Structure 1
Amino acid sequence: MKNKRNTLAGELSAEFAGTMILILFGCGVVASVVAAARGDADSISWAWGFGVVLGIYTAGKITGAHLNPAVTIALATFRGFSWSKVLPYSAAQLAGAFVAALIVRFTYWDMIKAFDPETGKASMGIFFTSPGVGADGNQISILNAFGDQIVGTAILVFLVFALTTATNAPPLANLTPLFVGFIVVAIGMAWGANAGYAINPARDLGPRLAAWITGYGNQVFEAAGSGDIYFWVPIIAPVIGGLIGGAAFKYLVEIHLPDEDPEDPAVTGEKGVQSDPV
């Protein structure tokens, strides 16, 4: 049987589906915790991590499962991914996140309405991120949130590169998605307080747009604790963070690694996550 070569349409379909799976579990668990009081912050971190794992297994064979425009841009910058595919991949990821958020919105419609009859800022966090609130009751600054998103995404991309570089003794390809999921769980637990660890422009903007058209209105572009315009932070900062993380791995680790051994199973084995599709 002749092997099928990936087409751009197939790659975009995989990115759409993988990101949709990620958001179904991510926004779904936040809806469960916020609107139904089932679970806590750790529940959110773990379900987001499992969503990443399952999203990667969904799309990994076709695209390597970027699922994140910040990752796609970092791969184009440091790993030779085609720049001509960056915008289409990002659009597919955004569309997948948008559709998944609509599914969560309508599935949890009654629960959200009971929790937040005004469909306002009390329940917006189900779908997208916002600056956190400190012990003094004050919202953290937009600048602090911007920096937080840079740091969180830099950590994500640095470690994704570490796990997917063949000469860096990574896990076998079929286990890589699990470890990437663990990265997201750890980031959620360690870096979730300041700004909700969006670390992914599509993850934040897609659900934000879904909320906007389903009753939340223009307040979705503001921080939950104030009228500050915030929607741009989880779009711009993760891209910057991804580039910093990719550069940090390249210049702190990758340039010091040995050359690839063609007989090494890590090099000749299955295609790993986040690789450039062939």
Structure 2
Amino acid sequence: MLEKIQKMLTVRSRIVREMLAEALGMFILMVFGLSAVAQVVLGRGAFGQLLSINLAFGIGVTLGIHAAGGISGAHLNAAITLTHCILGNLPWRKLPAYLIGQFLGSFMASVTVFAIYYDALHVYTKGNFTVTGPTATASIFSTYPAPCVSVLGGFFTEFMATVMLLLGILIIHDEKNNEALKGTQALLTGILVLGIGLGMGMNTGYAINPSRDLPPRIFTAIAGWGMEVFTAGHHWWWVPVIAPSLGSLAGVLIHKLFIDIHNQPDPERGSEKGQSPHPVVETSTL
């Protein structure tokens, strides 16, 4: 009986399976990350600090990659998916499925964290959900620039943080250079995100990912924070969408110019490890 039910529920379309994998991976990533932010904000520092937020996003990235990596490559980032398409590593026809999966997972994670902390949100805000002010809570779900940061400064921060993200991912997966040991890539990518948060999180909250920022922003607009989520910070909302997309492309270009085009695979190195000289690269690499 269970086998029959399983066969009925099995999705045979590869694109749909990839969409579902991206959705689950993104959901895991965002539940860990957003719930940590909620604890810090609503607990007024009694239940964690910025370090706990950075660690939670790192853990979420690691587990999200493990969940989706073998199916979709675990992009978990619209900027990375777009870069894959531009470089020809992913067919353009798959772009909508990947984005729908990522956005759905991110949106549902926002709904989940909102439900978990619904009571605490109402106590903290007295039922008045605001984007700015002493009891602002919109930043639990999406990123906003620090008061001292200009739009240009914030754009450059997001751009460079995403450049470092892509450089790190490419280094971790570079089979022609000093790639990470098989099975450690997800953990190292989580540590990479942790490092970005530790070093470049102050200015903008290091969105570095349109799929991390835009769906929760849409959710907060619907859930009671209103359209101010799109106008706050001098209409900040577009920066975490555009800057990471450009930063992703720039990161790939920098890696190619400084490392990739000058370095060729060493057949002897692959043979020594008992591997094919040209191993198959997961779609999570660029």
TM-score (norm 1): 0.89
Question: What are the residue-to-residue correspondences of 1:11-160 with 2, within 5 Å?
Answer: 11-36=18-43, 37=45, 38-78=47-87, 80-117=89-126, 118-121=128-131, 122-133=136-147, 139-160=148-169
Q: What residue is the counterpart of 1:136 in the other structure?
A: none
Distance 1:5 1:89 in 2: 16
1:246 to 235, 248, 252: 252
Q: What residue is the counterpart of 1:230 in the other structure?
A: 236
- Cα gap change, 1:53 to 1:273, in 2 (>3 Å): farther
> What amino acid is aligned across from residue 251 of structure 1 in structure 2?
L
RMSD: 2.1
Q: Is the 8 A contact 2:265 2:278 kept in 1?
A: no
Q: What residue is the counterpart of 1:209 in the other structure?
A: 218
- Larger deviation, residues 104-113 vs 71-80: 71-80
Q: CA deviation at 1:252?
A: 1.0
Q: CA deviation at 1:101?
A: 0.6
- Larger deviation, residues 74-83 vs 46-55: 74-83
Which has the greater radius of gyration?
Answer: 2
Q: CA deviation at 1:26?
A: 0.7
Distance 1:42 1:242 in 2: 25
2:263 to 257, 262, 268: 257
Q: Is the 8 A contact 1:78 1:246 kept in 2?
A: no
Q: CA deviation at 1:172?
A: 2.6
Distance 2:35 2:158 in 1: 22
- Cα gap change, 1:260 to 1:65, in 2 (>3 Å): farther
> What amino acid is aligned across from residue 223 of structure 2 in structure 1?
T
Q: Is the 8 A contact 1:53 1:177 kept in 2?
A: yes
Q: CA deviation at 1:258?
A: 2.1
Q: CA deviation at 1:105?
A: 0.7
User: Aligned with 2:235: secondary structure?
Assistant: coil
Q: What residue is the counterpart of 2:4 in the other structure?
A: none
Distance 2:285 2:143 in 1: 28
Distance 1:42 1:153 in 2: 20
Q: CA deviation at 1:270?
A: 7.8
Q: Is the 8 A contact 2:16 2:97 kept in 1?
A: no
Distance 2:276 2:111 in 1: 40
Structure 1: runs of 5+ lacking an equivalent: 134-138
Q: Is the 8 A contact 2:169 2:285 kept in 1?
A: no
Q: How many residue pairs end up in the alignment?
A: 265
Q: CA deviation at 1:86?
A: 2.0
Q: CA deviation at 1:165?
A: 2.0
Q: Is the 8 A contact 1:61 1:271 kept in 2?
A: no
Residue 172 of structure 1 pairs with residue 181 of structure 2? yes
Report percent identity of matched pairs.
34
Q: Is the 8 A contact 1:173 1:272 kept in 2?
A: no
Distance 1:20 1:61 in 2: 17
Q: CA deviation at 1:89?
A: 0.8
Q: Is the 8 A contact 1:164 1:273 kept in 2?
A: no
Q: Is the 8 A contact 2:18 2:97 kept in 1?
A: no
